[in-house]
């Protein structure tokens, strides 16, 4: 997904590059891809899986390395390679309407499967599909199965149609993990399930999740020490990709938290492509995944105008930790069931609306931006309803911007810049009018006193 597709943008050079956490992240990701390339020689099993509902701790407890195709796609987008990969997939018969993450991944595969850091990605020993709300996930892994002809295991996650995971849903997921996923991993890796190892990994995950939440919630400060959409895709990179539940992952989030706390203590804003954003005129909430092919240009359109993101839904596609979920080592299978069920892609429309409205209120946002990507029905379906409903509940106006994830044909810089500037001017005019109205009422109160 959108996921997620999370992010994992960390392998690209970012504006946060001066921070030690960024250097750490780049090294971790480069090392992961080196280990993947060496996997056939080191006989390390490789498991492909998707960001929402990923069972990274479980996969790693079998000594296997995860590969996240969405992360590869978005990084290919950031590195300017997605156009060719998408063209390759379209030549192979995938239509223009197919999710561009899928086409980017298939195009990369057909071009030799060289990953974003320039190393070869080995074929999977197992395809582990956690099905968390997006139908495309299933078709994508079906295509990969056709290509690789390898074992596949399908974890069916019930959709939160009623806005919650019922006890029987939880049991259903747990049973599948116990009776299908674990045996498939045992077969693919030749190792027995080791619950103690898994528990250690889940404890490390919870530690990293605590630190990530602290980082994301720091945006409640003024000025915000982080950009919670563009900047935060770097922050969620390790936890959304291969490092949740690892020592390196936990160390990265401890380091990042320290850096962000230091910025907050110094009343400093976040690094952006336009420099450090101390003068924050607008606090915005974002819905939808970013565009990756013009990521920094898109970010600059907001940063140049003094707009900072204070919260976003996209940074929750790999887990909604800020609403309290933590991996729980005392209940390994149950906690994985809860995690999968609670991913953003598995939430219904009312839950998404409530999440956004809550962000607008709790982070005292001046506005919110719905970024609708052509590729992703999972995100785009219902976004206009979301826009109207969040405006109604919060009294804060939103705006709607359209482009795509990794297909550069759908990013129109002039139109988008125009839309962003007009929206921010409208927020400024609204603020001025509210200020004048406030001053008039204060004057009237004084006069009557």
Nearer to ligand SF4 (CB atom), residue 293 or residue 375:
375
Beta carbon of residue 136, minimum distance to ligand SF4 (angstroms, whole number) = 4
Beta carbon of residue 221, minimum distance to ligand SF4 (angstroms, whole number) = 32
Q: Check residue 58 for interaction with ligand SF4 (CB under 6 A).
A: no
Nearer to ligand SF4 (CB atom), residue 213 or residue 317:
317
What is the residue whose two structure tokens read 């790999």? 318
Nearer to ligand SF4 (CB atom), residue 1 or residue 65:
1
Stretch that binds ligand SF4, among 2-10, 22-30, 208-216, 430-438 (CB under 6 A): 2-10
Beta carbon of residue 379, minimum distance to ligand SF4 (angstroms, whole number) = 6
Beta carbon of residue 152, minimum distance to ligand SF4 (angstroms, whole number) = 17
Q: Check residue 101 for interaction with ligand SF4 (CB under 6 A).
A: yes
Nearer to ligand SF4 (CB atom), residue 113 or residue 377:
377
Q: In sequence order, what are the residues at sequence separation of 6 or more whose Cβ sits closer than 8 angstroms to the Cβ of residue 150?
A: 123, 124, 125, 126, 127
Nearer to ligand SF4 (CB atom), residue 74 or residue 256:
74
For the segment 336-355, give every residue that binds ligand SF4 (CB under 6 A): 345
Beta carbon of residue 317, minimum distance to ligand SF4 (angstroms, whole number) = 8
Beta carbon of residue 282, minimum distance to ligand SF4 (angstroms, whole number) = 27
HEC secondary structure over the chain: CCCCCCCCHHHCCCCCCCCHHHHHHHHHHHHHHHHHHHHHHHCCCEEECCCCCCCHHHHHHCCCEEECHHHHHHHHHHCCCHHHHHHHHHHCCCCCCCCHHHHHHHHHHHCCCECCCCCECCCCCEEEEEECCCHHHHHHHHHHHHHHCCCEEEEECCCECCCCCCHHHHHHHHHHHHHHHHHHHHHHHCCCCCHHHHHHHHHHHHHHHHHHHHHHHHHHCCCCCCCCCCCHHHHHHHHHCCCCCCHHHHHHHHHHHHHHHHHHHCCCCCEECCEECCCCCEEEEEECCCCCCCHHHHHHHHHCCCEEEEEECHHHCCCCHHHCCCCCCCCHHHHHHHHHHCCHHHECHHHHHHHHHHHHHHCCCCEEEEEEECCCHHHHCCHHHHHHHHHHHHCCCEEEEEECCCCHHHCCHHHHHHHHHHHHHHHHHHHHHHHHHHHHHHHHHHHHC
Q: Check residue 134 for interaction with ligand SF4 (CB under 6 A).
A: yes
Question: Per-residue contact track with ligand SF4, 356 to 395, x per CB under 6 A?
Answer: -------------------xxxxx----------------
Nearer to ligand SF4 (CB atom), residue 97 or residue 446:
97
Nearer to ligand SF4 (CB atom), residue 68 or residue 134:
134
Q: Check residue 5 for interaction with ligand SF4 (CB under 6 A).
A: yes
Q: Check residue 44 for interaction with ligand SF4 (CB under 6 A).
A: no
232-240 and 247-265 are packed helices; what angle lies between their axes, rounded to 10 degrees? 160
Nearer to ligand SF4 (CB atom), residue 68 or residue 309:
68
Pick the binder of ligand SF4 from 36, 39, 78, 99 (CB under 6 A): 99
For the chain, report the end-to-end CA distance as a whole number of angstroms: 60
Give residue number: closest CB to ligand SF4.
Answer: 1
Question: Per-residue contact track with ligand SF4, 135 to 164, x per CB under 6 A?
Answer: -xx---------------------------
Beta carbon of residue 135, minimum distance to ligand SF4 (angstroms, whole number) = 8
For the segment 218-277, give every residue that binds ligand SF4 (CB under 6 A): none
Q: Check residue 1 for interaction with ligand SF4 (CB under 6 A).
A: yes
Rounded-to-integer distance, Cα 410 and Cα 55, Å: 33
Nearer to ligand SF4 (CB atom), residue 83 or residue 281:
83
Q: Contact residues for ligand SF4 (CB under 6 A)? A: 1-3, 5, 99, 101, 134, 136-137, 345, 375-379
């Amino acid at each position: 997904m959108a996921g997620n597709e999370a992010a994992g943008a960390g392998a690209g050079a970012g504006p946060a590059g001066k921070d030690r956490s960024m250097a750490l992240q780049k090294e971790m990701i480069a090392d992961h891809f080196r280990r993947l390339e060496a996997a056939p020689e080191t006989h390390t099993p490789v498991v492909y899986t998707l960001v929402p509902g990923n069972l990274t701790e479980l996969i790693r407890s079998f000594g296997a390395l995860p590969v996240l195709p969405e992360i590869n796609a978005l990084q290919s987008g950031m590195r300017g390679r997605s156009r060719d990969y998408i063209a390759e997939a379209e030549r192979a018969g995938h239509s223009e309407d197919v999710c561009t993450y899928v086409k980017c991944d298939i195009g990369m595969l057909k071009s030799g499967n060289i990953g974003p850091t320039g190393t070869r990605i080995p074929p999977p020993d197992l395809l582990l599909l956690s099905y968390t709300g997006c139908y495309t996930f299933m078709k994508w892994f079906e295509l990969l199965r056709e290509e690789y002809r390898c074992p596949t295991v399908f974890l069916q996650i019930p959709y939160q149609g009623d806005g919650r995971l019922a006890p029987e849903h939880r049991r259903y997921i747990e049973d599948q993990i116990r009776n299908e996923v674990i045996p498939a991993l045992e077969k693919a890796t030749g190792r027995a399930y080791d619950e103690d190892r898994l528990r250690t990994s889940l404890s490390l995950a919870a530690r990293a999740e605590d630190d990530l939440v602290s980082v994301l919630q720091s945006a409640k400060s003024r000025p915000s020490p982080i950009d919670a959409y563009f900047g935060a895709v770097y922050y969620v990179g390790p936890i959304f990709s291969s490092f949740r539940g690892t020592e390196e992952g936990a160390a990265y989030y401890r380091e990042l938290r320290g850096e962000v706390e230091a910025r907050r203590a110094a009343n400093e804003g976040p690094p952006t492509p336009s420099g450090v954003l101390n003068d924050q005129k607008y606090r915005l909430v974002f819905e939808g995944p970013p565009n990756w092919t013009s990521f920094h240009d898109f970010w600059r359109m907001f940063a140049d105008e003094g707009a900072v993101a204070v919260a976003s839904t996209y940074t929750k596609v790999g887990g909604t930790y800020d609403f309290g979920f933590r991996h729980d080592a005392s209940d390994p299978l149950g906690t994985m069931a809860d995690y999968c069920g609670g991913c953003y892609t598995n939430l219904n429309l009312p839950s998404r609306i409530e999440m956004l409205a809550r962000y607008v209120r709790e982070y005292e946002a001046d506005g919110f931006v719905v970024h609708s990507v052509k590729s992703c029905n999972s995100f785009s379906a219902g976004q206009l309803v979301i826009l109207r409903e969040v405006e109604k509940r919060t009294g804060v106006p939103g705006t709607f911007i359209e482009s795509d994830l990794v297909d550069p044909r759908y990013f129109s810089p002039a139109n988008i810049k125009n839309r962003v500037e007009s929206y921010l001017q409208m927020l400024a005019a609204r603020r001025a009018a509210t200020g004048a109205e406030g001053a008039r009422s204060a004057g009237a109160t004084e006069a009557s006193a």
